[in-house]
Structure formats: structure tokens, C-alpha cells
Structure 1
Amino acid sequence: MTPDDVEGSTYDYSGKHYILEAVLIPNMGHLSPNSACVLVREMIDYFFPDGFPPTSTVGMVNSILGMSLIILFLHYISRDSLPYPPGPQGYWYIGLPNSKVPSKKFWLTYTEWGKKYGDLIHFTRFGKHYLVLNSLQATRDILDKQARITSDRANAQLDHISHTEEITSLHPYSDKWRKSRRLFHQILRADATSQFRPIQTRQIHDFIESLRSSKHTLKDQISTVSQKIMFEAIYGLEISSNRDEMPTNSRETLDVDVGAGSIITPGWDGFKYIPFIQYLPSWFPNGQLIAAHRVLGQMTQDGANKPWDAVQEKIADGDHSSLIAKLLSRTDPENHEEIHTIKWFGATSLAAAADTTMSAISTFFLAMSLYPHVQSKGQEELNTVLGKGRMPTFDDRPSLPYIEAIFREVMRWHPALPMGIAHDSLEDIIYEGYYIPKGTSIYANIWAMTHDASIYKDPDQFIPERHLREDGHFDNINSILAYGFGRRVCVGRYMANDTIWLAIAVTLAAVEISGLPNENVEDYYGDGALW
């Protein structure tokens, strides 16, 4: 039988009528409907030369084997009949070699690659699939509209060593994650975060005083204020700016995480999926990354245990005023799972303050030094609305549209994590004619979206006016892309929103930010962004 013996995409066999569509088999090229039909027919003829059903035991065994192979073949061609999204090609199993996987300012590379490959960029590393989304439309379609199957997190053996899987934002999509998420929502939902505003106000005012007198670097001071707010709000602990204390631990942990092949860098966690990698010696290629995960594990544990132990001491002394203490007072002492959830709620909150909040405030200082006319305009609005010398409060926010516009532009101009954290797919996805397999790590290139010249004129420039409307209204903060997408959107965004806005407003009211000698913006950011 030849392809010419079968017309169209249909054929009859044993009284049954079959329809088979054209398929595309990787490494084989396009397989026409006729050829696909012939392949199936030849397989049937090979395994069932005497017809179907067989009468002998041997024939029955052959039948089972043959039908299994045919089913696998049909599943294969139906699953892979669509191509992967376009992207750079690598080698078998290894995928893209290290030399071709962007590791420094990678969001810029993927944005540039988007001009060649389009909105979707696909590649593999050690058998792991990666997908970068360069447009807001594709991101909404895949991460928002299909959130049920695109909200997982990658989980490898090295994640058990580093303990990062305990951080709520890195939990796999599971009942454990849902339980932790509910606790966050209960405490950090929009109508609940006002309870933290007195703490935010006091700590930010102290921060302004430290700018005038402290010998610490600006980076350390900003890191300290973001951590001090969370330590007091969650644990009821007052900490100093001493680098040997807890405030810098979360930031240092995050730095080690980035260096250990973090999931914020597409492809650079691929080695974690090599079988038995946790048992490989330190001299093995990438052995230093395995060692880094062990260090990260100790730092992650310390970051959770130290403030937790301090709270336990306060509780033992009769002080139940902290949020953690109040949560524990409502929890059965024998419910160890719930207590564990509360403990890591605190650790996750500190980790969040170490990235988005700190980086956004740092970005504000950089923008004001590079765009002094924006600083002057913001100060002019504060003086006009509040009068010279009065510090702004949360109640003043609706009356300060230009300050609000500065906040919105800070969040757009340089997102803390320009490509967010990877979402993993729980099922195969078909999108725009492309096949995205189950287990793909999906990254939203937030940078590409917030620097889309078709939406934002002169996107590399800091222009708050782009957010001002004639009606005076602003989009809901859920429209701020830096907070993420789908069911993995930052649950602490309302508290972060308050902290960042107040830091901007009070700083403009109290100090003059001088210019920086280096006007190359990217020089002030790490290879994984942040500050």
C-alpha cells in the first residue's frame, strides 16, 4: 500500500471508518493525512496479519502489544502534531548550552529576541521546557485566563535542600499553597492593611531622619526600612540597622538564591532537574551551584527561625501583642501544620519586603536624581496642596495626583523582577497554533510589556505624566504589572503599595535628592534586577 492508495484523510478497515488529520512529528517534518493513514494501516497489518480478533494465545499477546503501540503512536502524533513556539535551537537533552542562555540583564535579551521570534519564545534545558511571554495579550491569555493550569511552581530535589519550597510564593500549586494563601489574604487584603499604616508612617519618618545622619549606604538604609516595617508589623520586633542583625538576612538570602540558579532567570534552574544531582560531588560541573543551595537552605531556615524564636520568647514573657502571637492564640497548640503555616507566613513576608518594596523605593531615588524636573514638580504639588513643611499622610493621597503618577511610573519604569517568577503548567496547552507541554516554566517578560513603544511613548524615559488622565482617575493597582499575574499575583501588593507610595511622598516633602554622576540606569541594578 502506498499513500496514493488512500484518498484524502479517511480510510476503512474491518468495517470501521477512520478520519486522520495531518500531523507534524518533531525531527520527521510534516506527515500528510495520507501518509499518517498508511503508517497506521501498516502497523495494523503487521501486528494482525490474520485479521482481528486473534484466536490463539500468541495472537492475543501480539494484539495487546500491537494495539498498545498503535495507541502510543496515535497519542504521540496527536499530542505533537503542533509545533513548539519559536525560539533558539539547542542540542539533544542539553537544550541551549550555558553560553546561549542569557544570565545578565536577561530581560533585555528576551525583549530583543522578541523582535525575531515574536510574543512567545521557547527553548529547552536538560529536558525542561521554558517559555517567555513578551506581550501583555499572551500573558493575559495564558497566565490569567488559564490560571487553573498555569499556577504551579517548579519543584526539584535541590528545592528541598534549599528549603525555598517553604516560602509561600514558591509553593507548588497544592492544598498547602491554598491554605497559606488564605492566611495571607485574611491579613493582607485591601481592607485589612490599614492596620499597618501607623507602623509604616513611623518607620518611614525614621528613615528620613536616617538619610540626614546615617553613615550607612542608601541601599542599606532602604533595605533596613523595608525590613523594619515587616518585622514590627508581623513579629512586633524593633530592630536596628546593624548589618549583623536580622534586617539584612532576607536580602542576603535573596542574593544567594539568585546566584544559586534562581527561578527568576529562565533556563538557569535547568540543572536542578538532572536526576540525582543532589548526590553529585562538588567538583562536578555546576557543583558550586549545589553547594550554594546548601548554603541557601541554612540561610532560609535561619531567616524563618530567628524572628520566630524571638516572638516565642516574647510570648513566654507574657507579650501577646504581635500579629504572630495573635494568630497563634487562635490556633490549637496541637495543630502543628497550622503553626508551620503561620511560621512561614512570617518568613515569606520578610522575603517579599526584601525585593519588590526595597527595589521600588531605590528606583524612585534613582529616577529623582536623573529627572530633577520631576522631583521639583512633585515637591511643588506637595507645597501647594499641603503647605510647606507638613508631611503627607495616607489621607492626602487622593489629593496628590502627581505623586500618584510618580508612584505608577516607578512601578513601570524598572520593575523589581523584570520577568517575575516562573509559572509552571499543569497540563498541555495549545495557544495560537503552538504546543506548550505540561511542566513548562512560563515567564512573563514584564519589562517588555512596560517598555512597549506602541503603548508607552519613549518607554525608557521616566515620564509620570503618561499616567495622568483628564478625569483624574487612575487604574486599580491590580493593573500594575510588577505585581504579577493569575493566581500567583503578589498577595501583599496592597501593603507594598502603601509603603512605596508613602516613602515617595514623605521623601519628596522632606529632602532634596541630588544627581548621580552615572546616568546609565542599568548600572545601578543587579543582573537579576532588584537593586
Structure 2
Amino acid sequence: MPSATVDILFALFACFYLYKLLFTRKYPLPPGPKGWPLIGNAFDMPKTHAWRTFAEWGKKWGPILSIQVLGTPFIIISDPEIADDLLGKTGSLYADRPTVQMALLTGWDRALSGARYNARFREYRKLIGKVIGTKGSMTKFYPVEDYQANMSLKRIFQKPENPASAIRKTAGAMVLHLTYGYKILEDQPDPFIAKAELAMEQFSDTHRTGAYIVEIFPILKYLPTWFPFAEFKRKAVECIGPCNEMADVPFAYVKEQLDKGEENNSFAADLLKDKSNSSEKLVDLKWSVASFYGAGSDTTVAVVYSYLLAAILNPEIQRKAQAEVDSVVGKDRLPSFQDRDSLPYIEALVKELYRWLPIVPLAVPHRAMKDNLFRGYYIPKNSLVFVNVWYFLHDPTVYKDPSTFNPDRFLGSNPEPSPIDRGLFGYGRRVCPGAHLADVSVWINIVKVVAGIEVSPAVDEKGQVKMPVPETTDGIIVRPIPFECVVKPRSEYLLHVLEEALKDGEK
């Protein structure tokens, strides 16, 4: 081998060694469990409820730890201050999302939550921000929100054996009304609601951390669908159609109405009135609008369903909340947004619902966009950063008896930290743009349910009480596991008050 070639190879080796010396040794990765050669910790990744495993790792390895999965560092954060500093103060370095293989295979890579940090992402957020970007911007939606929350009570009373179905229907009805100007069918299953619910269930399942082997071995995405180990591929095929329909069908409905000259004052209609939109622009509009559904519906469903669970397990809290509403609002009308500042216990109740069973317990991971040094640790480009929001909200050094449902923790002269300030809606440039919409929707639905419904546990055929378990489903967005309960109006007079409120709302 010529000496010049040897010199070049030696120089390259020396540069590589120097790089490793400066960054890998002087600035190590955060500590963490030891992995295997080549595959790292691929087989240590939990298959379900990953936030619990990550919390245990955090207790052992510290508030910022790392594992390696096939050469990709996973940075796991169990301290909100670290999350604030890393993802908030240096947010531009971590504004990207990782490539989720199942999102690519199903079409969900077009949605805002998983969009890469690029021009399309910024366009999505700009479009959504125009409508729901501030607390003040939500006031114009109060009449629709109030009406749909009243309708939720009516739907629950019509099918008291299945309140979860009524809650889901209401959340979907509210978002479809605001976003597409579409009013759902009340006397039969609504096709738009059915499509959206199926799509969102599949979205949550396909984004579960570590659930699909293709996320660990991306090359497997090239396997044919019939291959024995390609179950993930067959699952993806099932999801493509519902994913497309959730975005396409209601958007086409709005376009058809506008083409016919019919009135539609929805968010989608406002965007579509610009006739200069290119075909590429229309795709962006369609998916930014579709992102509304996840922003408003899943949060409301999960938190209201959690309230029913909490009311069964803690009947004294249900009575205390009802007493506050009765004292402020009375029994001749239902509560409305004008009462919010006068209902501090309801406000605390909502915060505790957010904290107790957080809807996104393990925030959607961020991706490091370049090499970074943080608190003496080296975080390489393309590292995935996971924020354990569930642990933030169940840290026993911050929240007394964190497994206990107790709204009083947010009242008094020394309240515990609000969940909203501890990553509930995300961090940095990936903070949820629908946070204000979710806050308004959750509050009005909770206060209506408190005012109107009495919740108690179900009883089996032998007369034994069937107490539910405070546990959630798995996935990126979670809700309580299904349970049985008994719901009924608090009084016959309440039904009269509800009907009058609905008549006023339809005027």
C-alpha cells in the first residue's frame, strides 16, 4: 500500500479517535442500563405501559438516563425541570419528531402530531393558531361548546347503560361542528363519528412505544404482507383506509357545501374560500383541519370518563363538587362558562383528573436535530427524547399520596403544582396547539356532568358491587379501561331544566 494512502488512513483514524475521546469519554451519554452489542437495549423496551418501566429506570439511573436501541440513543427524562431546560429553553434543537415506521405505513405521518419540523409543520401550526391559538380566541366557540355539553347529558340519559358512548359521541360532535360545520345524526349511528373514532383508536395503537418490531428494525418494513413475521404490516394495511377517510370524507363534505353555495361558517370553510389554493396547499389544509379531531376529542373523552371513574371510587368528592355547583349556580339552570371563576373546587377537580390518569402519559418523543451538550452529557444528533409526564404527575416528593384522587391538593395557601405546568400538553415548539380548545371542552363537560348526573357503581346479578379499577389503556393517548356504572339524573326537575337549556341553545 502506498505510504501516502497509509498516512491518509492513519490521519482519518486519528480524527475518529480524537472525536470519540472528546465527546464519548469527556462527555458521556447519560447513564442507563447496559445493553448488548449491536442491538443495545432493543429487547429491554417495554411492550406495554412504557411510562411505568421508564419511571423505575429513572429511580435507579437518575432523572436523565439513556439506552441504546440499534445504535440510536433514547434519552428518557424523569424530571420536569430537565424537560423544561432541554425541550423548552433549547427547543429549536429538539423540535423534530422521529420517523415512526408505523406512521409511514399507515399514512399518519401526514398528521400534525408526527409531522417533521419543516415548512409543512409550521404551516399546520399557523393555520390552527389562527382559530384556537389563544384563550381569547375560544370565546367565540362557547355557544357550541355549551350546547354540545348539554347534549352530552341528554345522550347519557338516553343510554345510561353506556355513558362512555355518549361521551365519545359528544366530543366528536363538538369537533365536527366547529371544524367542518357538520351536525351529527342523533337518532342513528353517525358515519363521520364512526370513521373518526376508528381512526383515532388505530392511531393510538400504532404509536405505542416499543409495541411493533418494525420500530426497532426499520428494514422489516420491506417484508411482504404475507410474511410470517409481518403482522405489523397487516395491521398497517387495516389502518390506511380509516386514516384517509378521517381526513378526506368531512373535508369533501365542506367542499361540496361550498360548491353548492350553502352556508358553512366552519374553520375548514374559511380556509377553502380562498380559490387560489393549489392542490398541494389543499392537502396541507385538509390535514391541519383533521388534526383538530385529536386536539379536542380524545382529551375530552378521556377526562370526562375519568371523572365517572373517580366519582364511583370517591363518592364524597362527587357530593362536594355537586354542593359547590348548587351553591353558586342553583338548580334552576345549568352551569355555563360565566360561572367558571366562581367554582374553584371544580377547577381543582379538573386539574386532579388531568394529573391522576394523564391522557398522554409518555409524551410523543422529540428528535435531537444536531449534537448537543447538556449538563455534562453528550446527546448525539438523532437521539430520541422521551418525557415521562406520568411520573412528573405521580412523583411522591411533589404530590402527596399520588395514587389517591384528591382535588384538595390544588387548593389552599400551598397548592401542589398544576399538571398544565408539568408537561401535560407537551414542550417547546411541539406544545399542543389545541391546548386551549381541550381546556374549554373539558371544563364545560365536567361541570355539566357534575351538575346533572349521579354516578354509582354497578351491581352484579348477586347484588355484589362491581368496583372499577383505576387503570388505563395503553397507547400514545390513553383513557380508563372500560368499566360498568350506574348513571341517572340528579332529579326529575333537572330533566326539565336540561330541555329548556337545549331549546335556548337551538335558537
**Same-fold call, TM cutoff 0.5:** yes
Partner of 1:505: 447
CA deviation vs aligned residue, 1:410-433 (integer Å, no higher than 9, x gap): 111111111121111112232333
5 Å-filtered alignment, 1:66-81, equals: 66-81=10-25
What SS class does the counterpart of residue 397 from structure 1 fall into? helix
Tell me if structure 2 keeps the 8 A contact 1:153–1:424: yes
Matching residue within 432, 443, 457 for 1:490:
432
1:10 maps to none
Q: Which amino acid aligns with 2:435?
A: R
User: When the two structures are aligned, how many residues end up with a matched partner?
Assistant: 469
Equivalent residue in structure 1 for 2:341, among 382, 387, 398: 398
1:200 paired with 2:200, answer: no
**SS of 2:457 mapped into structure 1:** coil
Once the two structures are superposed, what CA deviation does each residue of 1:392-425 show, in whole Å capped at 9, x if it has no partner?
1111100111111111111111111111211111
| % identity of equivalent residues | 27
Tell me the SS of whatever aligns to 1:427.
coil
State the partner residue of 2:198: 252
The CA deviation string for residues 4-46 of structure 1, in whole angstroms up to 9 with x for no partner, is: xxxxxxxxxxxxxxxxxxxxxxxxxxxxxxxxxxxxxxxxxxx
Equivalent in the alignment of 1:410: 353
Cα displacement (A) at 1:164: 1.1
Q: Is the 2:295–2:435 contact (alpha carbons within 8 Å) kept by the matching residues of 1? A: no
2:165 maps to 1:220: yes
- Rounded to whole Å, the distance in 2 between the matches of 1:86 and 1:477 is 28
- Tell me the distance in 2 between the aligned counterparts of 1:97 and 1:475: 35
Name the structure 1 match of 2:296. Answer: 353
Q: Name the residue aligned to 1:149.
A: 93
Q: Tell me the equivalent position of 1:479.
A: 421
Contact 2:295/2:433 (<8 A) preserved: no
Do the aligned residues in 1 keep the contact of 2:312 with 2:456 (CA within 8 Å)? Answer: yes
Q: Residues 86-105 of structure 1: matches in 2 within 5 Å? A: 86-98=31-43, 100-105=44-49
Q: 1:328 aligns with which of 272, 282, 305?
A: 272
Q: CA RMSD in A?
A: 2.5
1:166 maps to 2:110: yes
Q: Distance in 2 between matches of 1:187 and 1:474?
A: 32
**Is 1:175–2:119 an aligned residue pair?**
yes
The Cα of 1:467 is off from its aligned counterpart by 0.8
* Correspondence for 2:377 among 434, 449, 455: 434
Answer whether contact 1:156 1:273 (CA < 8 A) is retained. Answer: no
- In structure 1, C-alpha distance between the alignment counterparts of 2:145 and 2:204, rounded to whole Å: 28
Structure with the greater relative contact order (CA < 8 A, sep ≥ 6): 1 or 2?
A: 2
Shift of 1:75: 1.8
Q: TM-score, normalised by structure 2?
A: 0.86
Match of 1:116 in 2: 60
In the alignment, structure 1 residue 313 sits paired with structure 2 residue 256: yes
Equivalent pair of 1:87/1:121 in contact (CA under 8 Å): yes
CA distance in 1, matches of 2:213, 2:63: 22
Tell me the CA shift for residue 210 of structure 1: 1.1
Q: 1:514 offset after TM fit, Å?
A: 1.4
d(CA) in 2 for partners of 1:227 and 1:321?
18
Out of 69, 73, 76, the position equivalent to 1:132 is 76
Give the conservation status (yes or no) of the 8 Å contact 2:95–2:428: yes
**Aligned-partner SS, 1:80:** helix
1:95 alignment partner, SS class: coil
3-state SS in 1 of match to 2:141: helix
Q: Secondary structure at the match of 2:76?
A: strand
SS of equivalent to 1:121: strand
1:362 to 277, 300, 305: 305
Summarize the Cα distance change of 1:134–1:521 in structure 2 as closer, same or farther, 3 Å threshold.
farther
CA separation of 1:298/1:413 partners in 2, compared to 1, >3 Å: closer, same or farther? Answer: same
Question: In terms of Rg, which structure is larger?
Answer: 1
Residue in structure 1 matching 2:331, options 388, 392, 404:
388
Partner of 1:521: 469
Q: In structure 2, which of residues 236, 255, 277 is the aligned counterpart of residue 293 of structure 1? A: 236
What amino acid sits opposite 1:530 in the alignment? Answer: R
Moved more, 77-86 or 435-444: 77-86
Alignment deviations for residues 356-381 of structure 1 (CA, whole Å, 9 cap, x no partner): 22111111221112111111111111
With 337-346 and 475-484 compared, the bigger mean Cα shift is at 475-484
State the shift of 1:492 in Å.
Answer: 0.6
SS in 2 for 1:512: strand
Structure 1, unmatched stretches of 5+, are 1-46, 48-57
2:344 maps to 1:344: no
Partners of 2:388 and 2:448 in 1: CA distance? 31
Indicate the residue corresponding to 2:397 in structure 1.
Answer: 454
Mapped partners of 1:172, 1:450: distance in 2 = 28
Q: Specify the SS of the correspondent of 1:513.
A: strand
CA gap of 1:310–1:480, structure 2 versus 1, over 3 A, is farther
Cα distance in 2 for partners of 1:126, 1:174 equals 26
Please say if residues 428 and 435 of structure 1, whose CA atoms lie closer than 8 Å, have aligned partners that are also in contact: yes
The whole-number CA distance in structure 2 between the counterparts of 1:273 and 1:176 is 27
Specify the code of the residue in structure 2 equivalent to 1:288: E
TM norm structure 1: 0.82
Give the conservation status (yes or no) of the 8 Å contact 2:389–2:422.
no
Contact persistence 1:428–1:438 (CA under 8 A): yes
User: Which piece of structure 1 moves more, 136-145 or 409-418?
Assistant: 136-145
Determine helix, strand or coil for the equivalent of 2:198.
Answer: helix
Q: Which amino acid aligns with 1:250?
A: A
Displacement of 1:384 in angstroms is 1.0
- Check whether the contact 1:151–1:486 (CA below 8 A) recurs between aligned residues: yes
Cα distance in 2 for partners of 1:318, 1:78 equals 66
Is the Cα–Cα contact under 8 Å of residues 95 and 124 in structure 1 kept in the other structure?
yes
Is 1:211 paired with 2:156? Answer: yes
3-state DSSP of counterpart to 1:508: helix
CA distance in 2, matches of 1:370, 1:273: 40
Aligned twin of 1:25: none
Contact 1:223 1:248 in 2 (8 A): no
Mapped partners of 1:386, 1:318: distance in 2: 43
Equivalent pair of 1:193/1:494 in contact (CA under 8 Å): yes
For 1:130, what is the secondary structure of its paired residue? strand
Q: Secondary structure at the match of 2:454?
A: coil
